[in-house]
Structure formats: C-alpha cells, structure tokens
Amino acid sequence: MSKKTILSGIQATGNLTLGNYLGAINNWKKMQEEYECNYMIADLHTLTIRNDPEKLRNNTLDLLALYIAAGIDPEKSNIFIQSQVAAHAELAWILNCYTYMGELSRMTQFKDKSTKHADNINSGLFTYPVLMAADILLYQADLVPVGEDQKQHVELTRNIAERFNKIYGDTFKIPEPYIHGVGARVMGLQDPTSKMSKSSTIPNDSIFLNDEPDVILKKFKKAVTDSENIVRYDKEKKPGISNLISIYSAITGESKEEIENKFESKGYGDFKVAVAECVIEELKPLQNKYNELKNNPDYLEKLYINGAERAKKIAKSTLKDVYEKVGLVW
C-alpha cells in the first residue's frame, strides 16, 4: 500500500514559540517515516500583515534552518518555500471562485486578526484560508498536522474540495486535520486562557524557540498558577498549572496521572523548575543545530531550490487537472 501524504506549513513571521514546536514541528518530525511529507514555509500568508521586506527574507531562511534543526530531514521530507511554487497562488485564485463570503466571515482567525490589525483589514486577510486550501489540495494531502487553532481552516478546505469534486468529478483528495494530543493547544504562561502566540504583547507569556536557558527558566518561574499549590490537572479551575502539565507531558511523554503522582509531594516552585528544565533540554540540540545552519546559507539555498523543484512537479499535475476541468485552454 502506498504511503499517505501529509502537507503542513508555518508562517514565516519569525520568533516561533513552544506552541508552534509542540503543536506542529515536533509531530512532523515523528511522521516522516510513515508518511510522504511535504512541509512548506508559508511566506505568502505573512503578506496579510505589513512586514519589513528584509526581515521577511531573513525570517523565511531562518524558518528553513529551524525545520532542519528540529529534525525535519530533507532526504525524507519535501521542504519548500510556498512562493517559489507558483501553483499555490494560481490554485488559490480558482478556489476563491468556489468559496463563499459567508464561509470566510465565520473564520475565527479572521475575526481575531481583523480586531488586532483594525487599520489593515485587507482582502488577503479575508481570503487567507483559501490560499491554505490551495496549499493542501495541490498535494492531494490525506492528513494535515496542525495545532487546534488551524482546525477550522482545514474543515473549510474539506468543504471547498467537496464542492469542487461534486461539480467536476473526483479532483481533490479530501484531507483530514491531524491534531495530536497534549501539545495541540499550548496556552500563554501569563494568560493561560489564550493560546501561546508569536505576537503576544504580554511580557513572559510566550517561550520562544531561541530563548536562552536562563530566560526560559525565568519565564516558567513567573508563570501564572493558582493558590492551591497541588500539581493537579483541571483545565477549567486550574488553567495555568494544567498548561504546565500539558507542556511537561508533551515533552517527556509521561501521562497527566504519572506527572500528578510524581509531583504529589512537591509544590509549584519545584514543578515549574522541572518543566523549565525539560524544555531547556528539549530545545538545546535544536538551538545548537540552528545556529550552525544559519552560518551556512549555501546549504540552505541548495535545499530550497531542490525542494521547489520537487514540489512544482506534484503541484503542476493537480493544477493542470483543475485548469482543464474548469475550461481553461492550457
């Protein structure tokens, strides 16, 4: 039986968080043996907010280095930069014509982002999930490994694909979101009722993948908890400590019950240090490798050129089928 196909991506906005790592990249690494993996750097998506062009270029290459540093193996997985495969933007246009304004208006990320960037609610922000649908459908992906916050976009992708297939016959594989357990929604350390985010403006709320060990320790020590001082998972009543338990569990593989037992006689102070230490240990090899790769731009260039070539071949075959089906002379 042939391997199932995966596609996923991260926006090239810099400053990746522990949430991006536990919700996405760390799972991608594990999926490489079993699946045909396509991992892209979503640079086109980042244009929905204003960027400094030089920064965007750097962030894109940094993210590529980070994928490799985190264990995504270019021999096993197809790694590429979204904008280098023109079919993404081309299919997005077609799919825009099969997506309703009402559907896009219901996207929670659009609502959030248009509140945050009230001075720049551009139409790219509105049609952002259609570009994401094009990313996924071009590769005929079976599964889309993402964190909880992207589930709604994958569901919209399914609806668009089903609608298209109904009109033109089998064209797109219908993808499933693949949302992996404990790390799927890492919350902020200061506001554990909101997801940990790259763009959080609250100090010490997010752990960034390039944070130094002493910074990580400090942030965990300051994490908001409750006054009970008992390490027990209760997402409703104890969101702060529950988030720390989830992080510890996602990294060590220990279950929530095992963690509760292990720290039964310990207070929050000890537990916070233990969580910080496991995060520091987990990120250390990634940070070392990342620093090495950043000094090797030639290697990175070779990687993205090869990746784009491979991706173009797959994407072109789906796009050709779509163009022919809708009646374009191509």
The residue type of 154 is V
Looking at 4, 151, 173, 198, which residue is catalytic? Answer: 198
191 vs 299, which CB is nearer to ligand TYM?
Answer: 191
Counting runs of H as helices and runs of E as strands, what totals does the chain give? Answer: 13, 5
The two tokens of residue 50 are 């204003």
Interface residues toward ligand TYM, by CB under 6 A:
7-11, 19-20, 22-24, 42, 45, 132, 135-136, 144, 146-147, 149-150, 184-186, 195-196
The two tokens of residue 132 are 């994401």
CA angle (213 as vertex; 12, 227 as ends), nearest 5? 100
Smallest separation (angstroms) from ligand TYM to the CB of 136 = 5
Q: Which residue has the tokens 């173009």?
A: 312
Residue 32: strand, helix, or coil:
coil
Q: Which residue has the tokens 């030639």?
A: 298
Separation between Cα atoms, residue 24 and residue 147, nearest integer Å: 6
Separation between Cα atoms, residue 57 and residue 106, nearest integer Å: 32
Active site residue 113: yes
Look up residue 2 and give its DSSP letter: P
Strands 176-178 vs 78-81: parallel, antiparallel or unpaired: unpaired
Smallest separation (angstroms) from ligand TYM to the CB of 96 = 15
Confirm if 60 and 41 have CB atoms less than 8 A apart. yes
38 vs 171, which CB is nearer to ligand TYM?
Answer: 38
Smallest separation (angstroms) from ligand TYM to the CB of 312 = 17
Separation between Cα atoms, residue 173 and residue 151, nearest integer Å: 17
Separation between Cα atoms, residue 234 and residue 251, nearest integer Å: 19
Active site residue 313: no
156 vs 303, which CB is nearer to ligand TYM?
Answer: 156
136 vs 276, which CB is nearer to ligand TYM?
Answer: 136
E strands, 17-83, in order = 36-42, 78-81
Looking at 113, 219, 238, 272, which residue is catalytic? Answer: 113
Smallest separation (angstroms) from ligand TYM to the CB of 108 = 12
8 vs 190, which CB is nearer to ligand TYM?
Answer: 8
Active site residue 151: no
Separation between Cα atoms, residue 15 and residue 17, nearest integer Å: 6
Q: Nearest-CA neighbor of 146 among 184, 174, 108?
A: 184
Smallest separation (angstroms) from ligand TYM to the CB of 298 = 27
Q: How many residues does the chain have?
A: 330
Determine the residue with CB nearest ligand TYM. Answer: 23
224 vs 230, which CB is nearer to ligand TYM?
Answer: 224
**Residue positions annotated with a catalytic role:** 113, 195, 198
